[in-house]
Each structure stands twice: as structure tokens, then as C-alpha cells.
Amino acid sequence: MRISKEELKTLMKNKIQKAGLTEEHANGVADVLVHADARGVHSHGAMRVEYYAERIANGGINAHPNFQFDKTGPSSAVFDGDNGAGHVAAKLAMDEAIKMAKENGVAVVGVKRISHSGSLSYFVQQAAKENLIGLSVCQSDPMVVPFGGAESYYGTNPIAFSAPGENNEFITFDMATTVQAWGKILHARSKEEEIPDDWAVDENGEPTTNPFDVKSLTPIAGPKGYGLMMMVDVLSGILLGLPFGNKVSSMYHDLSEGRNLGQLHIVINPEYFTNLNEFKKNIAKTMADLNNIKPASGFDHVSYPGQRSAEREKKYSEQGIEIVDDVYNYLISDKVHNNAYNNKDPFAK
């Protein structure tokens, strides 16, 4: 079904607030979630609300965190999220990184002890909207076989980047370092759809098209994705003194405990390296050049990174956001959650 962006955000905010977050923090979480749904990334949108609500209600997301921002140098800092809502902590940390980059040209801000923070494109676009370049990486729980391995070690460990062009347009990408994000498997399950056979493997390590048979995900481009996973884990885990690799906490294990996840924001001020207007002009030229590339067989055009998501956002703002009926029915129900996630096997059917 379709629902307006404003109504969807209000429903999510109300449910999260009912679970125990303050109105301010519930609004912050809902803002990041509706951003994902509006861009068609439903795996990180409304379908996550019930999980967050259950974790909040169980105390695994601190409803009243004591956020601390420790500036460790002219261009470096650590933001301690006290296991509060990751969406809120990551947003506030990016706000601080933006201030530092405007003052000193570059900012590197580690965000530690947070819960799941949702779609990273939200945070890098915070920077792009301020005429800055944003880069963000985040660790996640182990559910990916390393290249050549038969058991999970790293998480989907996403990377996101955004840079400003002209006319309030951005070139953006937000990707898991797996062939596909786990949330996309969940989305396929919710719609009872098959998945491509290169997304994941079953309990025997064999490729599967059944999302309910998935037991581990696969790295993008084999050893290359494996290397990127390692890099993200170092930058957002080991660098911040947090659990790393297969020691990263599970999304579903004991929802009464904080997850202690890590994230890293890097923000670059183009004015410290080149003329800002020229930079934005060249980003816009890059976007146009890519659109004008001769398309390959089977394609009608070439999109620049993030273009299709931006087009969906515009479309959904006019026509409403499409969400599955089960998610909508949960959002309008009186239930805070259905006790569906605590100590759940992440790959359970």
C-alpha cells in the first residue's frame, strides 16, 4: 500500500516513542527511517520499527543516553553514544563533524557504543547539504563468509559517500560490502520473493534463491569485498577500541543489552582544496557525463550513483511511499511489539 511520507514518519515516531524513547529521539529515528523508505531502501525503513521497539522496551537501546563529545584534536573527535539510538547519535556526531570540517578543512569523528543506525546515506547527505564531502563506514554483526571461508566472520559493513553538485543535487552511494545487505533478504522474506543466487549461501555453503534458507551472505566481488569489510571493521571497530570481527554483538541476541557498535564519519571541506563553485560544477558535469554515456545492451540509460534513489524519493513524495501491508498494520496497531526478536537466530525463518 502507499502512504504519505509525513504520515509514515508520524506513525513510526509514535510507535518508537510508545516503546520508550523521548519524543525528540523518536523523531530523530523516524527521520532516518523515512529517508530510507522514501529512497526505496525499505530494508532500512519501516520494516525495522518493530525490532527497534522491542529492543527499546527491553532496555537494549538506552532511552535516556548520556551523549559525550570528546574533541581529541583540531580535526578529530570521538562521540560516545552510551548505547542510545544509533540514528540519533550518528546524526549528532555528523553535525559536529560538519562544524569541524568548516573550521579546519577535514574532520574525522568516531561514533562508539551505539545501536543500529540505519541507512548511512542519511548521514553523508547531511554533509553534502552543507557543501561538504561526507564518507561514513559502520560495522555490523557477523553474518558473511570471508572469501575462501566456510563460516561467518565479518558483517555487511556498509560504506556511504556523498558530494554536492549544483541545484541541490548530490552524487551519493550507500552500499553493503556484501553482494546484498541482510535487510534486503528480510525484505524478500516479507514479500515472499526469491533472491538472486549470488546473494547468499545455505547451511551447506551452497548458493540459494530461497531467502528463508539463507545461513550466510557473500562478499561483493569475492576478495575485493572481503578486503573492504576488513577496512570498515578496522576503522569503525578496532580504531575505536570496540569489539570487532566475529566479536561484534548480534542484532538479536539479548535485547536487554546495548550493542556497542561503532561508526566513523569523515568530512572534507572542498574549499580547502579547490574552488567550491568549480568543485560543484565538476560534480554536476560528472553526473551529466554519466547520464550521456552510451548504454549497454539491455539498458536504456546510464544513471549516476544515487540517481535512481533520488528519483524514487521525488516520485514517492508525490505518490506516497509503498510499504507492505503487514508493516502498516503493525504501525497502526496498539501493540508496541510482538516479542518476535529477542534471542532470535538472525537467519531463522
- Greater model confidence, 145 or 131: 131
Task: Quote the pLDDT of residue 349.
Answer: 58
pLDDT band, residue 348 (cuts 50/70/90): low
Catalytic option among 116, 187, 265, 337: 116
287 with 169: CB under 8 angstroms? yes
Closest CA to 166 of 283, 81, 294, 14: 283
Closest CA to 117 of 185, 52, 27: 52
pLDDT band, residue 181 (cuts 50/70/90): confident
For 91-107, how does the pLDDT look when each residue is reduced to its tens digit (9 = 90+)?
999 999 999 999 999 99
Inter-CA distances, 106 with 97, 152, 268, 269, 282, Å: 8, 35, 5, 6, 20
Inter-CA distances, 236 with 112, 158, 245, Å: 8, 11, 11
Q: Is the pLDDT of residue 76 over 90?
A: yes
For 276-299, how does the pLDDT look when each residue is reduced to its tens digit (9 = 90+)?
999 999 999 999 999 999 999 999
Mean pLDDT over each residue of the chain, to the nearest integer = 94
- Whether 44 is catalytic is no
Q: Is the pLDDT of residue 143 over 70?
A: yes
Task: Quote the pLDDT of residue 77.
Answer: 98
pLDDT band, residue 221 (cuts 50/70/90): very high
Q: Is the pLDDT of residue 204 over 80?
A: yes
Domains and CATH numbers, the chain: 2-275+309-332 (3.30.1370.60)
Helix (H) or strand (E) holding 227: helix 223-236
Q: Ranked by mean pLDDT, which of 47-51, 150-154, 339-343 comes out on top?
A: 47-51
In the chain, the DSSP E strands lie at 2-3, 68-73, 76-80, 106-114, 133-138, 159-164, 170-175, 200-201, 216-217, 261-268, 321-322
For 187-200, how does the pLDDT look when each residue is reduced to its tens digit (9 = 90+)?
888 889 999 998 99
Grid cell locating 18:
510508545
Task: Quote the pLDDT of residue 281.
Answer: 98
Based on the number of CB atoms within 10 Å of its own CB, is 239 exposed (0-12), middle (13-18) or buried (19 or more)? Answer: middle
Q: Is the pLDDT of residue 223 over 70?
A: yes
Q: What does the pLDDT average to over 210-214?
A: 93
